[in-house]
Amino acid sequence: MTTKNPKTEICDAIHARRRFLITSHAKPDGDSIGSQLAMAYALELLGKEVRVVNADPAPEHYMEFPGVPRIEITRELIERPWPASEEALIVMESSDLKRTGVAGLEGRFTINIDHPQGNTSFGALNWIDESAAACGEMVFDLIEALGVPLTIEIATHVYLAILTDTGSFHYSNLTPKTFDICRRTTEAGVNPAAMARRVFDQNSFGKLKLIGALLAEMDLLDGGHLAAMYLNDDILNATGTTYNDTEGLINLPLTAREIRAVVFFKVGADGDVHISMRSKYDVDVRAIAARHGGGGHKNAAGFKVRGPLSDVRDGILKDVTDAIALGAQLKP
């Protein structure tokens, strides 16, 4: 008996159902937003009913992208699910249901689509492809398998997903397939230069102040190879910004030639410490995140721990310093 591959099984499940709920991880980024909305537009072209639900709003500079204002923001779904034969939940780029930040998702036929390591395979159908540069790559493949045409709306969100989750084509997860998909999206009408401006050139004055504040307090460690940045509510209040304004800022120190890794500590009002890590060359931060229940790519990963910051900071920085030493064995 031949076993169907996950993509084929997902296509079959989509064709068999009428209603879809799409979500992704809390504090969504470009890949989660792009993947969700590309999928939503494709399903609607198939005549399906679609809701997109997230725990947190998209960063402000994404609000002008098609479909972003339609995303429902809620921390809990209180209505009863439709029968599993009619409805499916599609979860993009989330290692488990808890990471979505939305309560009440249980009880639905769940399709789990993800690309980093650490996914718990919590769905009825699970498609995990660690070779994908972005979840948007997998969504592109799925949309193509469904026979849906690549409209400008779908192409825009696929390109957004790839552009942001590859660090503007900086990370080591790039493959020829990545650029072929981008070629297809540009043929569908996406303007790469305009997309780059919409994503990277939309800072507010408050965000510029935030950048200055973060860089002024940044620590340089390990002989200048490691940068540590710190964020709390006091800094946000002083600059008139929100956590959404921090997207992409972790990449700034990596533009310095000497810096090989960055750790960004974000202290929440609840005492939790959200830790993002970025690296270049052969410095593997994904393994560190995995040890703490997080996930990501070799050069981009994150996790959350209970505070206070003073209790966790030194151990995490030691882990990253060790990863830099291991990565130094290979020349860039």
pLDDT at 36: 98
> Helices in the chain by DSSP H: which ranges?
6-16, 30-45, 135-145, 152-165, 176-187, 192-200, 205-216, 233-239, 286-291, 309-327
Q: For 285-306, b where at least 16 C-beta lie within 10 A, e where not — what string?
A: bbebbbebebbbbbbbbbbbbe
pLDDT for 269 beyond 90:
no
pLDDT at 1: 38
pLDDT digits 0-9 by tens, 195-211: 999 998 888 899 999 99
Separation of alpha carbons 288 and 295, rounded Å: 9
Backbone angles phi, psi at 36, to 5 degrees: -60, -50
pLDDT for 328 beyond 70:
yes
Report all structural domains of the chain as residue ranges with CATH numbers, in order of start.
6-200 (3.90.1640.10), 205-327 (3.10.310.30)
Q: Are 22 and 34 in contact (CB under 8 A)?
A: no
Mean pLDDT across the stretch 235-240?
94
Strands 295-296 and 72-73, by their bridges, are unpaired
Is the backbone of residue 331 left (phi > 0), alpha (psi -120 to 50) or beta?
A: beta
Which of 246, 75, 36, 254 shows the shortest CA–CA distance to 161? 36
Query: Which strands make up the sheet holding 300-306, listed edge to edge?
Result: 219-221, 226-231, 261-267, 272-279, 300-306, 295-296
Range in 150-154, 257-261, 319-323, 324-328 the model is least confident about:
324-328
pLDDT at 227: 98
Mean pLDDT across the stretch 155-182?
92
**Where is 90: in which H helix or E strand?**
strand 87-92
pLDDT at 290: 87
Separation of alpha carbons 230 and 80, rounded Å: 41
pLDDT band at 226 (very low <50, low <70, confident <90, very high): very high
Query: Would you mind telling me the total number of residues written for the chain in this entry?
Result: 332
Q: Two tokens at 223?
A: 């002989």
Place of tokens 């102040």: 209
pLDDT digits 0-9 by tens, 153-162: 999 999 999 9
Q: What is the mean pLDDT of the chain?
A: 91
pLDDT at 331: 55
CA atoms within 13 A on the CB side of 261: 32
pLDDT at 231: 95
Q: Are 7 and 127 in contact (CB under 8 A)?
A: yes
Strand, coil or helix: 276:
strand
pLDDT digits 0-9 by tens, 17-31: 999 999 999 889 999
Separation of alpha carbons 189 and 182, rounded Å: 11
Mean pLDDT across the stretch 82-101?
87
Q: What single DSSP character describes residue 60?
A: G
Q: Two tokens at 245?
A: 């304004």
Give the torsion sign (CA, 97, 102, 104, 109): negative
**β strands within 108-148, DSSP E:** 109-114, 125-128
pLDDT at 313: 95
Mean pLDDT across the stretch 52-56?
95
pLDDT for 332 beyond 60:
no
pLDDT for 317 beyond 60:
yes
pLDDT at 22: 97
Mean pLDDT across the stretch 137-158?
98
pLDDT digits 0-9 by tens, 289-304: 989 888 778 888 898 8
pLDDT for 54 beyond 80:
yes
pLDDT for 330 beyond 70:
no
Name the pTM for this structure. 0.84
